[in-house]
């Protein structure tokens, strides 16, 4: 059971990174200008890299004790769809431990491509649609500021694997935060139109920021053991950073105290289903397909 808590937590971190990475990658080829297109695509790749590290760790944890030999992603994907869906359903916990893994096992690919929306544990913020450039920028800024302090804290984790991933990711996120902060300031303190768009983005996204700091059961349990980052300590740091950037950007934090939650438990907004449908299409339609 303890192992399952750690798997849940690792998947939560992986899903956060994958979903935001995928969202950002939707801009590839559509950026407002070539240089920014490349910048956002770089950030998307950083995030997907982080997701891979977490998924690989989650897969290893899932397979431990199951006596599963390492399998290739394609094999597992094929097997996963052909009646062994529960092996890939590691997100729901029981699936991974249920033992169907004897044939295929869990891999980073089955975790990313064969779980459904209710198995995903990402925060609601990262799955919100791209909207315009302002909304994409603000979503990235909110989440990068969160990840910046989060990875700082996770580097002290008693789980050495998580600490190592956090250390590597921290450098990447430092740049994401710098890049998105500058854009928030440029747009907020820019023209009348850019300021209006930032305010609209703020209205749409603010209610999803609360969830970042509302710990799910698996986060609470692991924080007590010194494995998970302590979200209550991160919150004031995040608020301070957001406030500082907002001041430069001439933006005001909304006063609304209400926040939408549920993503960490698998209760998502309508956006995630569409995202997964597109992202998972190929492996669902052609199981085990490689190219």
Partner 1 sequence: MKDQNTESRSSWPLWEIFIRSKQGLDHKHVGSLHAVDAAMAIENARDVYTRRMEGISIWVVESKYVHASNPDEAASFYDPANDKIYRHPTFYQLPDELTHM
List contacts with partner 1 (CB under 8 A): 33-36, 38-39, 42, 175, 178-179, 182, 186
Q: Which is nearer to partner 1, 43 or 81 (CB)?
A: 43
Nearest CA among 276, 285, 230 for reference residue 120? 276
How far is residue 3's CA from residue 47's CA, in Å, rounded to a whole number?
Answer: 25
Contact 104, 79 (CB under 8 A): yes
Q: How far is the CB of 166 from partner 1 (least distance, A)?
A: 22
Q: How far is the CB of 55 from partner 1 (least distance, A)?
A: 23
Q: How far is the CB of 33 from partner 1 (least distance, A)?
A: 6
DSSP state, 27?
Answer: T
Q: Which is nearer to partner 1, 38 or 289 (CB)?
A: 38
Q: Which is nearer to partner 1, 44 or 234 (CB)?
A: 44
Distance spanning both ends of the chain, measured CA to CA:
37
How far is residue 222's CA from residue 237's CA, in Å, rounded to a whole number?
Answer: 21
CB half-sphere exposure, 155, CA atoms < 13 A: 10
Nearest CA among 151, 115, 114, 160 for reference residue 17? 151
Contact 57, 165 (CB under 8 A): yes
How far is residue 244's CA from residue 208's CA, in Å, rounded to a whole number?
Answer: 20
Q: How far is the CB of 182 from partner 1 (least distance, A)?
A: 7
Q: Which is nearer to partner 1, 35 or 192 (CB)?
A: 35
Q: Which is nearer to partner 1, 10 or 181 (CB)?
A: 181
Q: Which is nearer to partner 1, 186 or 271 (CB)?
A: 186
Contact 90, 151 (CB under 8 A): no
Residue 65 in tokens: 């004790």
Angle ∠(44,169,267) on CA atoms, nearest 5: 65
Question: Residues 154, 157, 159, 165: what is their CA dihedral angle, to the nearest 10 degrees?
Answer: 30
Q: How far is the CB of 94 from partner 1 (least distance, A)?
A: 42
Residue 265 in tokens: 């438990």
What's CA 285's distance to the chain center, in Å? 25
Q: Which is nearer to partner 1, 38 or 282 (CB)?
A: 38
Q: How far is the CB of 47 from partner 1 (least distance, A)?
A: 15
Q: How far is the CB of 51 from partner 1 (least distance, A)?
A: 19
Q: Which is nearer to partner 1, 38 or 82 (CB)?
A: 38
Question: SS3 for 256?
Answer: coil
Q: How far is the CB of 185 from partner 1 (least distance, A)?
A: 10
């Amino acid at each position: 059971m303890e192992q399952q808590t750690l798997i849940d937590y690792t998947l939560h971190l992986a899903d956060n990174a994958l979903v935001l990475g995928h969202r950002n990658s939707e801009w590839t080829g559509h950026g407002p200008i070539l240089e920014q297109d490349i910048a956002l695509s770089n950030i998307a790749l950083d995030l997907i890299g982080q997701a891979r590290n977490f998924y690989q760790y989650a897969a290893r944890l899932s397979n431990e004790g199951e006596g599963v030999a390492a399998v290739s992603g394609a094999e597992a994907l094929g097997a996963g769809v052909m009646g062994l869906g529960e092996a890939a359903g590691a997100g729901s916990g029981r699936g991974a431990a249920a033992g169907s893994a004897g044939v295929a096992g869990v891999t980073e690919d089955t975790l990313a491509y064969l779980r459904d929306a209710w198995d995903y544990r990402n925060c609601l913020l990262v799955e919100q649609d791209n909207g315009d450039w302002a909304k994409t920028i603000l979503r990235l800024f909110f989440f990068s500021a969160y990840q910046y302090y989060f990875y700082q804290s996770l580097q002290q984790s008693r789980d050495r694997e998580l600490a190592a991933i956090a250390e590597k990711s921290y450098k990447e996120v430092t740049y994401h935060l710098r890049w998105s902060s500058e854009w928030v300031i440029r747009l907020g303190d820019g023209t009348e139109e850019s300021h209006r768009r930032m305010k609209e983005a703020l209205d749409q996204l603010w209610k999803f920021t609360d969830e970042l700091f509302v710990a799910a059961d698996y986060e609470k349990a692991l924080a007590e053991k010194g494995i998970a980052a302590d979200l209550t300590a991160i919150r004031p740091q995040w608020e301070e950073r957001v406030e500082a950037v907002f001041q430069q950007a001439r933006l005001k934090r909304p006063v609304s105290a209400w926040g939408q939650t549920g993503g960490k438990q698998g209760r998502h907004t309508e956006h995630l289903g569409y995202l997964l449908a597109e992202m998972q299409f190929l492996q669902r339609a052609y199981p085990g397909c490689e190219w």
